[in-house]
Amino acid sequence: MPESYFHLSAKDQADALAVGASASGRPPHLLEKDIWVVWALSTLFESELGAHLVFKGGTALSKAYKVIQRFSEDVDLTYDIRALAPELVAGAPEGIDAIPPSRSQTKRWSDLIRNEFLPVWIRDRAQPIIQGGLERLGAGTSRITEDCIFIDYPPVTAVSDYALPRVKLEFGARSSGEPSTILPVRCDLEEFLPELEFPSANPRVMNVARIFWEKATAAHVYCLQAGEGLSERFSRHFHDLARLDDGGYVAAAIDARDIAEAVAVHKNAFFVEKDSEGQRIDYVDAIGKGLTLVPTGRAYDALREDYQRMVADGLLLYDTETFEELMAQCLVIQQQSRSR
């Protein structure tokens, strides 16, 4: 029977990562972090929380759908609002997501979820599961914020200043996370070291079309804000859109109007943003008339700098395209969204 990676000494773990890095061409510190990402998914989805938890975002595209060959280090999760706060959403109109009936109710829902329900759920239900798992391993510690659990693991390889030795589990709870399906997730090292046992998971994963629309609308907002409140690590969204296009998913996602409209209505309610001229961004209008997916000015320059940092740290697991090539492909996706 294969020996568990976690039962090895730190030296033997480092040796295993070095062998895997040589065989795969991937940096050892990313292979190590990947093990902890999968461990976290396994721990959460094998718990009683798993039935109402949905795995989404870039890490889901990488680990579950295998659409992107990018190391995605943060784990985005949604806990179904209907399970978190059933009394709050009772009577809301039927649909993919529960939407508040008025602007005042939207604020009430948001305030209650952000300031009360979600932090309490993380503190009392989610973090004890993670911390208990770490204690059984005898390695790592966990800490919480209002909407995140951080797992700080003891690295056995040299670390970088971009992909730190910690796993961020970021939780949302204002949607259902649907549609979703259960998919297998395995560690990247598993295929290179079959003599060792690595963690594995079978999370409930958000539909790829919904992931596309969540990422595409986030990129749209970035472009319309033209550099205001610039965010680090945002180039990954544009990269992921391009890989979804390579995989043939974009056309189908654009045609999935029920999912597009659900995302737009949900974001209009809960994620109010303004453009560079101070006008409220209408997500429903964006999916109807078409997205903007190529920024200009400061936003373009900041995105290029972030992309170059991501490339330099080895997060892209293949020969990388130039930033200009990436933007050219995003322009094609933008045109697709406007021509349906």
Q: What's the pLDDT tens digit per position in 16-27?
A: 999 999 998 888
Q: What count of other Cβ atoms lies within 10 Å of the Cβ of residue 18? A: 14
pLDDT band per the 50, 70, 90 thresholds, residue 76: very high
| 198 and 230 fall within a common domain | no
Distance CA 152, CA 166 (A): 4
Query: By the 8 A CB rule, do 61 and 212 touch?
Result: no
Query: By the 8 A CB rule, do 209 and 256 touch?
Result: yes
- Which domain, by its residues, includes 145? 3-206
pLDDT surpassing 90 at residue 40:
yes
| 194 and 330 fall within a common domain | no
pLDDT surpassing 80 at residue 145:
yes
Output the pLDDT for position 159: 83
More confident residue, 233 or 332: 332
**What φ, ψ does residue 34 adopt, rounded to 5°?**
-60, -40
| 17 and 127 fall within a common domain | yes
pLDDT over 90 for what percent of the chain? Answer: 79
pLDDT surpassing 80 at residue 1:
no
CA dihedral 136, 141, 146, 148 (to 10 degrees): -80
Q: Looking at 173, 206, 239, which one is the last position of a domain? A: 206
| 201 and 247 fall within a common domain | no
Three-class DSSP category at 173: coil
Q: How far is CA 96 from CA 99, 168, 184, 248, 265, in A?
A: 9, 27, 24, 24, 10
pLDDT band per the 50, 70, 90 thresholds, residue 248: very high
Query: By the 8 A CB rule, do 183 and 65 touch?
Result: yes
Output the pLDDT for position 311: 85
| 247 and 148 fall within a common domain | no
Three-class DSSP category at 265: helix
pLDDT band per the 50, 70, 90 thresholds, residue 313: confident
pLDDT surpassing 80 at residue 197:
yes
| 81 and 137 fall within a common domain | yes
Output the pLDDT for position 131: 97
Does an H or E element contain 79, and which? strand 75-79
Distance CA 129, CA 41 (A): 11
Tokens encoding 55: 């795995």
Q: Looking at 160, 180, 206, which one is the last position of a domain? A: 206
Min mean pLDDT across 20-34, 221-235, 289-303 is at: 221-235
Q: What count of other Cβ atoms lies within 10 Å of the Cβ of residue 1? A: 4
More confident residue, 70 or 292: 292
Output the pLDDT for position 229: 63
Tokens encoding 123: 């503190």
pLDDT surpassing 80 at residue 94:
no
Output the pLDDT for position 317: 65
Output the pLDDT for position 230: 62
More confident residue, 317 or 266: 266
Q: At what angle do helices 297-312 and 323-338 cross, to 10 degrees?
A: 120
Mean per-residue pLDDT, 94-119: 90
Give pLDDT tens digits for 120-129: 999 999 999 9
Burial of 234-264, coded b for 16+ CB within 10 Å and e otherwise, reads bbbbbbbbbbbbeeebbeebbebeebbbbbb
Distant-in-sequence, close-in-space partners of 229: CB < 8 Å, separation ≥ 6: none
More confident residue, 313 or 82: 82
Q: What count of other Cβ atoms lies within 10 Å of the Cβ of residue 228? A: 14
| 201 and 217 fall within a common domain | no
Q: How far is CA 183 from CA 59, 203, 212, 252, 339, in A?
A: 13, 6, 18, 20, 33
Handedness of CA 28, 157, 198, 123 (dihedral sign): negative
For the chain, the average pLDDT equals 92
| 77 and 157 fall within a common domain | yes
| 268 and 292 fall within a common domain | yes
| 163 and 306 fall within a common domain | no
Give pLDDT tens digits for 276-296: 999 999 999 999 998 999 999
Mean per-residue pLDDT, 298-311: 90
DSSP 279-295: PBP-HHHHHHH------
Q: Looking at 188, 206, 224, which one is the last position of a domain? A: 206
pLDDT surpassing 70 at residue 63:
yes
* Structural domains of the chain, count: 2
| 172 and 24 fall within a common domain | yes
Output the pLDDT for position 96: 86
| 109 and 254 fall within a common domain | no
Distance CA 96, CA 261 (A): 10
